[in-house]
């Protein structure tokens, strides 16, 4: 599925909609320990993390992720969004928890 397909679900909102959301989500990954994510997440994945600081964009950029999904309504720092716009990484927020996000991704064939 594409990031734009995920955004058709009203549970998800892109916090930097000025960038492209046509990237393909090829896999999903959940994790908050950045080194663990660096070691194990796949390229072009949707990464679900409760971390909201600017370094998540560094990790997402280096791994060429499709998007970052922040669950449970956690507030994202402004510096994170600024960096995400520069690096072209969609940052998506949702009130759902990580498990519920994964169910939606899985049901969509990711």
Partner 1 sequence: MSYELAFEVERGDFETAGGASRKIKKTLQQLGISSKIIRKVSIAGYEGEMNLAIHSWGGTILLEVAETEIILTIQDSGPGIPDLHLAMTEGWSTAGVEARRMGFGAGMGLPNMDRNADHFEIESKVGNGTKILMKFFL
Identity of the residue, 51 or 94, whose beta carbon is nearer to partner 1 in the bound complex = 51
Q: How far is the CB of 69 from partner 1 (least distance, A)?
A: 15
The angle subtended at Cα 84 by Cα 24 and Cα 94, nearest 5°, is: 70
Q: What is the dihedral of CA 21, 25, 29, 34, to 10 degrees?
A: -50
Q: Which residues of 11-47 are buried (b: 16+ CB within 10 A; e: fewer)?
A: ebebebeebebebebeebbbbeeeeebeeebeeebbb
The mark string for 27-66 relative to partner 1 (x by CB under 8 A, - otherwise) is -----xxxxx-xx---x-----x-x-xxxxxxx-xxx---
Q: Which residue, among 102, 100, 103, 78, has the nearest Cα to 91 in the 3D structure?
A: 78
Residue 91 found at the interface with partner 1 (CB under 8 A): no
Q: Which of 24, 79, 88, 95 binds partner 1 (CB under 8 A)?
A: 79
Closest contact distance (angstroms) between CB of 27 and partner 1 is 14
- Looking at the Cβ atoms of 34 and 108, the one nearer to partner 1 is 34
Contact set with partner 1 (CB under 8 A): 32-36, 38-39, 43, 49, 51, 53-59, 61-63, 79, 87
């Amino acid at each position: 599925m594409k990031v734009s397909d995920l955004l058709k679900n009203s549970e998800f909102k892109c916090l930097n909609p000025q960038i492209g959301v046509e990237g393909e989500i090829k896999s999903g990954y959940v994790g908050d320990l950045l080194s663990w994510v660096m070691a194990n997440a796949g390229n072009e994945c949707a990464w679900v993390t409760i971390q909201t600081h600017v370094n998540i964009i560094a990790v997402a950029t280096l791994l060429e992720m499709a998007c970052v999904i922040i669950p449970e309504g956690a507030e994202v720092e402004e510096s994170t969004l600024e960096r995400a716009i520069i690096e072209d990484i969609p940052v998506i927020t949702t009130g759902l928890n990580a498990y519920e996000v994964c169910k939606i991704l899985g049901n969509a064939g990711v």
